[in-house]
């Protein structure tokens, strides 16, 4: 069957702390390993009160140290915020500590607003337009030593940590195809270019030392509960999160609401509904149908599930039910590759 993986932002629920979030992240990762998830990725975001995974490499180390088999990685590192050498050293360190278990997915967005991006970089001389060159530089630091090389990632050189390219537009698809790297599309918040990006990636893919044929993954929000009504109520925390982002007032993850009509304007509702148009929400039978349709539409090789829920027990249950759904799906990976 198609592999399922986890995308975690270490959500900070209202009334809790980042320390609580990190404990919950490790608990979810341990359960995800038991349930058979393929990867557990954490994402770099900054200056967002409801997301604790800003120091992404540190949290990856926390998760990898507390698990045994599951692959752990960044989904992703926003490379324009960093020098390639620093990322090579960080992930070289992680690979040295947890050999064969570390993934490094790269994005070109800042993971923040422009003021925060300036605070991160001190200046904006490094920008998104340099992203392909930065990826090549990072790849070289993680590759074998070259004749005449004078600057090395220690640790990092020769470890060849697997790289991925992430994207929410055609740009990332083109970079991943040209470099022969696996590609992940952020359809959990950017639905518009999904199909075209996957088409471009597959059509233009050039085999590389890392990857012989295209490998495409898409991220979707999945919220599963025992009933459709219960799942839709849990989903309101995610809807509030995106509505607050639209307003420019990000907050900690809010408790679920019985209804949303008095929370947002019609324009905000339309915007959030569009952003979350690929979300799969409901009881297991409903989610099975939605996921099957999504997989048949995209033909992705792997599915990564996001689902920031206010209550940690509800989040555990949602990810557990999602794997139960996977076990009952009849679409084999060979039919959708």
User: Is 171 inside any structural domain?
Assistant: no
User: Is 50 inside any structural domain?
Assistant: yes
Task: Tell me which of 165 and 126 has the higher pLDDT.
Answer: 165
1 falls in which pLDDT band (50, 70, 90)? confident
Complete DSSP assignment for 203-253 = HH----SS-SS--EEEEEEEEE-SSHHHHHHHHHHHHHHHHHHHHT---SB
The pLDDT > 90 percentage for the chain reads: 90
pLDDT at 112 > cutoff 70: no
- Kindly state whether residues 137 and 273 are assigned to the same domain: no
Measured distance between the N- and C-terminal CA atoms of the chain, rounded to whole angstroms: 11
Which range is least confidently modeled, 15-19, 125-129, 164-168, 260-264? 125-129
- Kindly state whether residues 142 and 11 are assigned to the same domain: yes
pLDDT at 257 > cutoff 50: yes
Average pLDDT, integer, range 94-102: 98
pLDDT at 129 > cutoff 90: no
Question: Using N-to-C axis directions, what is the helix angle for 170-179 and 131-142, rounded to 10°?
Answer: 40
User: Is 209 inside any structural domain?
Assistant: no
- Kindly state whether residues 7 and 132 are assigned to the same domain: yes
Owner of token pair 């084999």:
332
What number of residues does the chain have? 337
Quote the number of domains for the chain. Answer: 2
- Kindly state whether residues 11 and 141 are assigned to the same domain: yes
Q: Is the pTM of this model over 0.85?
A: yes
Residue 163 CA to residue 103 CA, distance in Å, equals 6
Beta 183-185 vs 216-224: how paired, if at all? parallel
Beta-bridge partners for 73: 41, 103
Residue 140 CA to residue 163 CA, distance in Å, equals 12
- Kindly state whether residues 268 and 336 are assigned to the same domain: yes
Q: What is the pLDDT of residue 117?
A: 67
pLDDT at 196 > cutoff 60: yes
CB 278 within 8 A of CB 295: no
Average pLDDT, integer, range 202-220: 98
The pLDDT > 70 percentage for the chain reads: 92
Mean pLDDT of the chain: 93
Average pLDDT, integer, range 192-200: 97
Domain stops at, among 143, 161, 179: 161
Our separate counts of H helices and E strands in the chain read: 12, 9
- Kindly state whether residues 1 and 144 are assigned to the same domain: yes
Q: Which two tokens mark 55?
A: 């120091």
Domain stops at, among 134, 161, 188: 161
Domain region containing 256: 215-337
pLDDT at 332 > cutoff 70: no
- Kindly state whether residues 3 and 148 are assigned to the same domain: yes
Q: Which two tokens mark 289?
A: 């149908």
CATH number at residue 131: 3.20.20.30
- Kindly state whether residues 240 and 331 are assigned to the same domain: yes
158 falls in which pLDDT band (50, 70, 90)? very high
Domain stops at, among 161, 185, 200: 161
């Amino acid at each position: 069957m198609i592999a399922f993986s986890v995308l975690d932002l270490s959500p900070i629920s209202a009334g809790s702390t980042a320390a609580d979030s990190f404990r919950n992240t490790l608990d979810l990762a341990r359960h995800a390993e038991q349930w058979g998830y393929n990867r557990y990725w954490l994402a770099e975001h900054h200056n967002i009160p409801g997301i604790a995974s800003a120091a992404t490499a540190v949290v990856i180390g926390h998760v990898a140290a507390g698990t045994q088999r599951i692959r752990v990685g960044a989904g992703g590192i926003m490379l324009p915020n960093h020098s390639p050498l620093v990322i090579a050293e960080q992930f070289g360190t992680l690979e040295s500590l947890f050999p064969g278990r570390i993934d490094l997915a790269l994005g070109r967005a800042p993971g923040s607003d422009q003021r925060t991006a300036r605070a991160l970089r001190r200046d904006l001389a490094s920008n998104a337009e340099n992203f392909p060159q930065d990826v090549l530089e990072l790849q070289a630091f993680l590759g074998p030593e070259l004749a005449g090389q004078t600057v090395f990632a220690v640790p990092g050189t020769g470890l060849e940590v697997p790289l991925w390219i992430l994207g929410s537009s055609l740009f990332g698809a083109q970079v991943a195809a040209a470099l022969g790297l696996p590609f992940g599309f952020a359809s959990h918040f950017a639905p518009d270019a999904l199909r075209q990006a996957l088409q471009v990636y597959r059509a233009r893919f050039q085999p590389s030392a890392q990857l012989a044929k295209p490998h495409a993954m898409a991220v979707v929000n999945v919220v599963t509960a025992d009933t459709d009504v219960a799942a839709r109520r849990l989903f309101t925390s995610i809807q509030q999160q995106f509505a607050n982002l639209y307003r420019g007032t990000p907050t900690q993850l809010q408790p679920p609401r019985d209804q949303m009509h008095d929370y947002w304007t019609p324009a905000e509702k339309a915007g959030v509904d569009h952003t979350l148009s690929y979300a799969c929400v409901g009881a297991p039978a409903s989610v099975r149908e939605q996921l099957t349709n999504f997989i048949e539409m995209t033909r992705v090789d792997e599915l990564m599930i996001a689902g920031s829920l206010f209550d940690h027990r509800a989040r555990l249950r949602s990810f557990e039910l999602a794997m139960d759904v996977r076990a009952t799906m009849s679409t084999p990976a060979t039919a959708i590759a």
